[in-house]
Every structure is written in C-alpha cells, then in structure tokens.
Structure 1
C-alpha cells in the first residue's frame, strides 16, 4: 500500500512540473493607437492657369500681364522672348512667367539734337551716341527707331534723378531734331522753337511708351533735368506745359498752390537770399524734387545751373539761373504735388 501511494504521488508531481513548463508566460502589451490616414499636401506650383506663350514662325511672345501694375510690376513682353540655349539641354517655359518682375524702362528722357535732320541721323547711327527714337522735322508722319527698346541707347551719359544714376540703364531716350541755341550780342542764349508737327509726334510717341511701361509723371524728364551741369536740352522752348495739359504727359504745378507759396515768399525773400541756411534750404528742396545737387550753403556754379535747368522746364519765361520768389514758389508747389514716396 505504501508503495502504491508513493507511485501516485510521484506521478502527480511529474505531471504538475510538465504542465508548468508548457505554459507560456504572458507579457503586457499596450494597445496600439489608431492611425488616421494622412492628408496629402501638395507642395508643387500653383495650378492657376497662366496665359500661354504664343509662337509665330518659331519666335515666342508673351503679351499678357499677370503682374501687379499698382507696384509697377509687368510681365508682358513687347518683343520676342529671349532665352538661353545651353548645349545638350532644353530650356522649357512650363512655369513661365514668374509674377515677380517689372520693366527695366523706368524713365523717358527727351532731348534735342542741336543738328539738322541728315546730320542728326548720321551722328545718332554711326557714332558713339544714340537714342531709341528720333523725331524728325520734315513734316511727315514718320518717327525713326534707332535702338531696340530692350537695349541701352547712349543718350543720357553721366546722369541722376532722385535715387537713380546712370540713366542709360533704365530709360528710353527720344531725340528731337532742333538746332538748339545761339548766343546773341549780350551773351544770352536764344533757343530755337519746335514745329507743331514735331510736338504732336513727341506726344503720341511719349504716350505710347509711358502707357506700356507704366512710367510715372515724375520720370518723364529732359536731359537738362538729369544732367543740369552739362546739358540744356530740350530747352525752354519745349512745351512741357502743353504736353501736361493736352496729353497728360509729365509734371506741372497747380497754379493756386504756386500762388499761395508766392505770397509767402515775397515777404522777406530778398533779405534772406545770401544767408547760408537759406541757400542750403533751396539746395535741399531741389534735391528733394529729384535734381542731383549737393547742398553746400553757397550759390556755386552747379546750383546756378540746376536752377537754370529747373527754369527751362517749369519757368521758361525766365531762365536766369537765379532763385527768385516765383521760381521758389513753383518748386514748393511741385514738391508738394509730387512728394517722394
């Protein structure tokens, strides 16, 4: 009996140990989070359709503006599109054009040739001086183009206006056939007039250029404005006021505003004329308007020529180079009307 009980106990122990070996030990696993499907974010270019580049006989053009004209941004091309042609590669216009661009042509500069028609053509086409256009004085309806608008013409030379210098880089030049000036027995300059046909041509040409390139009135200037110590053209006989009133081209002052400044200036203008602070203020006002004059507090030659250039443009009845009350009033009225932004 004792032997039987021993066998039963031994069998129970072996079975118990064997069962424990076969039991897998469970470990704790945290529940897996539910993953939401990701939203695909497109990082490519805008799908907004752009006007197509047109192709005429293998030459590409883009004449639609998608830029912001209020910021003088314009993507339109007024000639064929110029593109690189790298060997072994293809330049494509899949994303053409970018809206962040504007025209190089910021200024319209008017000149006279101081030469007759034939001589003007020869000089402007065969020597180291040129302009984009030449307005003749032959009474026809032709305007000569001499330089592509997308290229620089050599018409402005050393020049400045407001914050810009070397205006060949940023301007379109228009030369007008005119003999310039002669000097009388008293040493005074006597300027030649422009024909009515010429002024109508200039007006039509200028209107077209400033409209296409969104050139502001403050950037329609004469050569004397941007280089007053060197140049006199287009001179006091050029009808700036007529262009402003009849064609809305360029700048002119408001008469009432000028009168109000004149009434103030006439009180003690002459008593202050030679005071350095007064001279410095005049030079600063000329500089503020756009002229490249350095304030020195002295009536130096550069200041006199700058006043003279200003008078050619805005007070042609008297271009003495002397800052009188009327010239001062005109300058104040213009600075108020065309304040620098």
Structure 2
C-alpha cells in the first residue's frame, strides 16, 4: 500500500514540475479588459511578466506608461521604483507591474511666489512651503526642481476641486517668480506681468507633465481655483488662453457657446440679479464646474471671491467678483464643455 501511494505521489510531482516548465515567459503588454475567471494567487498557472526594468547606479526604473486617460485607473508605475528590503529575503519583480494602480499625480497647480528670485528659492527650499518646480525670471533656460514628483510638496494648502480635497496629495505644483499685486488708490488689485521667457518655460514644463501623467484639461488649475477664498495666484495676467490655444494645456470656453448663452444671461442679470433663487443657480453652477462653494442664495464674500477666481482664469479683463452677463455666459459655456463625470 505504501509503495502504491509513493508511486502515485511521485507521478503527481513529476506532472506538476513538467507543467511549470511548459509555462512560457511573456513580455508585458497593456491588456484590454476582458471577462475571464480569476486565478488564485497560489495557483501554478500564473504567467510571469517580464518587466522592462532599467537599473542606473543601483536604482531601478520602470518607464512604461500604459495609462488610459478615459479611466485613469490602469496605469503602470512611471519612474523610479521604491522596494522593500526585508532581512533574509529577496524581493523580485517577476510579476511586476500589476495594472491595478494609478498615478498620485492627478492635478497640475500653478502659483506665483510674491517674491523675487533669490527669496523665492530661499522660502521654497528652507521653510515649510514648497513646490515641485520653480520657474525663475532670469531669462535663462533653467527650471528648478525642488521636490521629487513622486513626493507631496506643500504648495496647495487647504484646497478642493470637484470631489477632491487636500490637493497636495494628488498634485504637482509649479511656482512662478512674480511679485503678485499691489492695490491702487481705489483699492483695485494691480498685478505684475509675466515675462515671455517665463510663459514659455511654464508651457513646456506643463506640457511635459500633463502628457506623462495624462492629466485632463479640467485638472490644470490656478491656486485661486482650488482655494478661491484665500488665494489670487497666478492672477489675471497669467495667459491661460495662450496655453490653451498654442500648447493645448488646460481649459477654455468655446466662443460660440458663450455667445449662445449671452442673450439669456443679459436677461437674467437685468431682471433677476438680486433674487435668491437666481443667486442660488449661479452658486450651483460654480460648484458644478468645480469650485468649493456652498450655495446659499446670497451674494456673500465667499461667492464674490469665487467669482473673482473664475474671472482671473477665464475673464481677466474684469475681475471685480461681480457676476455680469459675460461672466455668467462664460460659466455656462464652461459647464457645457466640461461636464462633471
């Protein structure tokens, strides 16, 4: 009996080993979603993926990007790989990478420093505020990297956009050297312009980032967009339309759509401006677009600052925080073009 069991056991072992030898190694390729039965983790039928891992000076990198921008949830790691080193064991990348992952980097946020070049560097590297990149105003071809893109930098603070909060967790921050604004005799904010060299640097840097991380147009934002009651940067003189037209970066409304909304917008402003029901509709439209605002049917300070932020970005000719017909038409055109998914 024992001899019989031994022969049966040996046969099973040989068959198992033979099965493993016949498993072919395959080069990792993006996989389209298909309906199939999942194999248990302990199964002998696991196919080994050959990861295209590069090693430079002892650091491992994986640079294959298989992101699907329509889902943003099927993204292989991009860049350096951080791995555990458990004592007495070897971590291998036989089955690396799993496709069920995504980038931390969902947003690109633009700022200005309100400081000259030397002070900007000092504050952003030596104090409790930072950014991933700093664009100087020296007319050279250098862009300073201050924080690893895979790490959180402290640039956004208390912030929100659509359903996301605390955007330091999910964003890359670009600071631009600029002195911000000064108030004139009438109390109007007068902003400092950006140099052409700075705009070109920001555009090239932003283009590189949004392509690598598949950051959608709706997630390329101003600091004032994600914190409208606290921040004004990068202000109305930052050329958002130029980035949209010439570099295909960020959002802009369609002029025809704006014109189609103008007649109704003019009627709304002329007849309903101070009605709580109309104010509530405007606040709801701001919230729908992405701003962190609680509709209450009042033209309160938070609403004025949020409208001002919208104007900084999309209607920079007038940024007084007052909803006129053009501002209202622009907001409706933006919501039509960039609906919340």
Q: What TM-score does the superposition give when structure 2 sets the normalisation length?
A: 0.85
- Asked if the contact 2:225/2:291 (under 8 Å) is kept, the reply is yes
Q: Tell me by how many angstroms 1:69 deviates.
A: 4.6
Whole-Å separation in 2 of the counterparts to 1:265 and 1:69: 34
- Asked if the contact 2:109/2:223 (under 8 Å) is kept, the reply is yes
Deviation track 1:38-93 (CA, whole Å, cap 9, x = no partner) reads xx998445537443322233221111234545422320422x21011122222111
Question: Tell me, what secondary structure is at the counterpart of 1:154?
Answer: coil
- Asked if the contact 2:51/2:96 (under 8 Å) is kept, the reply is no
Q: Tell me by how many angstroms 1:330 deviates.
A: 0.1
Question: Tell me, what secondary structure is at the counterpart of 1:340?
Answer: coil
Distance of aligned partners of 1:67 and 1:190 in 2 relative to their CA distance in 1, 3 Å threshold: closer
- Asked if the contact 1:67/1:101 (under 8 Å) is kept, the reply is no
Unaligned runs of 5+ residues in structure 2 are 1-18, 20-36
Deviation track 1:155-183 (CA, whole Å, cap 9, x = no partner) reads 00000000000000000000000010001
- Asked if the contact 1:67/1:99 (under 8 Å) is kept, the reply is no
Counterpart of 2:93 in structure 1 is 93
Whole-Å separation in 2 of the counterparts to 1:234 and 1:160: 17
Counterpart of 1:253 in structure 2 is 253
Unaligned runs of 5+ residues in structure 1 are 1-39
Instruction: Indicate the RMSD between aligned Cα atoms, in angstroms.
Output: 1.9
1:306 equivalenced with 2:306 (yes/no): yes
Whole-Å separation in 1 of the counterparts to 2:50 and 2:67: 11
Question: Tell me, what secondary structure is at the counterpart of 1:182?
Answer: strand
Whole-Å separation in 2 of the counterparts to 1:100 and 1:44: 21
1:340 equivalenced with 2:336 (yes/no): no
Question: Tell me, what secondary structure is at the counterpart of 2:267?
Answer: coil
Counterpart of 1:75 in structure 2 is 76
- Asked if the contact 1:182/1:189 (under 8 Å) is kept, the reply is yes
Counterpart of 1:240 in structure 2 is 240
Counterpart of 1:36 in structure 2 is none
Deviation track 1:108-142 (CA, whole Å, cap 9, x = no partner) reads 00000011000100110011000000000000000
- Asked if the contact 1:51/1:64 (under 8 Å) is kept, the reply is no
Q: After the TM superposition, which of the residue ranges 48-57 and 205-214 deviates more from structure 2?
A: 48-57
Q: Tell me by how many angstroms 1:269 deviates.
A: 2.1
1:151-190 equivalence runs, <5 A: 151-190=151-190
Whole-Å separation in 2 of the counterparts to 1:113 and 1:49: 46
Question: Tell me, what secondary structure is at the counterpart of 2:110?
Answer: strand
- Asked if the contact 1:105/1:172 (under 8 Å) is kept, the reply is yes
Counterpart of 2:267 in structure 1 is 267
Whole-Å separation in 1 of the counterparts to 2:119 and 2:197: 20
Distance of aligned partners of 1:148 and 1:268 in 2 relative to their CA distance in 1, 3 Å threshold: closer
Whole-Å separation in 2 of the counterparts to 1:281 and 1:161: 19
Whole-Å separation in 2 of the counterparts to 1:45 and 1:220: 44
Larger-gyration structure (1/2): 1
